[in-house]
Structure 1
Amino acid sequence: MRKTAVIIDDDLDVRGLIQGILVNAGLEVHAADSGAAGVEAVRRHGPDIIVLDFGLPDFNGVEAARRIRGFSSAPILMLTGHEDLADTPFAAGIHDLMAKPFSPRELRLRVEKLLSSDEQTSIQPD
């Protein structure tokens, strides 16, 4: 079965770039342009991974992650141009943090790593 991703980013160009990278990696992709729409997309599609921008028009990515953690344990890769975030995103349930601008190759590698580590942790012994 094909893996699913949700991208939450208000920048149309960045969202399109990420979507292209993930589609080329074989994922089914759903995109949202705000925190509220992104939380709803995660709820609706139950993705295997979430790529989340820090700066969103309605509330920031940390708040989006907190809301998502209320019903989903999918790995979250946060993208940000802010260097002063410290450990805040990780306390909200972010699995990995990537600075903007990013390399498409690096984004794909990190997504693949998060997907493979999530598979390993979701396997329960009999």
Structure 2
Amino acid sequence: MTRLWVDGRDVAEVTVASTWGARARGMLWRRRLPEAMWFVRESSVHGVGMTVPLDVAQLAADGSVLAVHVLRPFGLVAPRPGAVDVLEAPAGSFARWGLAVGGVAQRVPAGTAG
């Protein structure tokens, strides 16, 4: 299990999508959305097939948050210079976690410090 840390605080369990298949599926066709999903080597995402809005953050290689968006169903978050990964979560999650532009997101194995 992997945990998501935001600005040094453990905030959620994160599903890591590091393969082509996992990235292509994303949050589609899930009975229950994951608390968060980290897309490795993706700089943009789309909401085609989604029925609910999602919070989306575009991340630099060091995990710093370059941009934050609300992705509506069938919407698009375009690529952003410097973005290498994307973080998604159900809408409203980022506000609860305090995730904002300039902050830092990290993937941390459960049971270890961030």
**Shorter-chain TM-score tier:** 0.3 to 0.5
- Between Structure 1 and Structure 2, which shows a larger proportion of helix residues? 1
Q: Higher relative CO (CA 8 A, sep ≥ 6), structure 1 or 2? A: 2
- Between Structure 1 and Structure 2, which shows a larger proportion of strand residues? 2
